Structure 1
């Protein structure tokens, strides 16, 4: 798995965890964020730019589900 793919996997897992427990931090979220920080440092500038767009899209999707619930 590439670093880019690893970060995408973590990003999607974070979105799922946050959707299950909106509004609060948890040890699982903290651990995911720590791992994501480490992986982020290994990404190229182009990979980071692509992932920024994906992070924004996922944030909107999670917010929309929270509103609909």
Structure 2
């Protein structure tokens, strides 16, 4: 194997190591992002439920006030 071939092989091996490192990091970050997305979905669902309850309470109070003549 010539010196140039040895250098090219070494460069290729370095690139492969770098690629694997970046790929592993990307997979970890993707998993973390997915977990954050799921947590956000759960938070949004809880907020939607609270909003629905508050909206219902507001409607009830509004109807009560209308019946009692207070507007």
TM-score interval, smaller chain: 0.3 to 0.5
Which fold has the larger relative contact order, with Cα–Cα distance below 8 Å and residues 6 or more apart in sequence? 1
Structure with max Cα Rg: 2
TM-score (ref. length: structure 2): 0.36
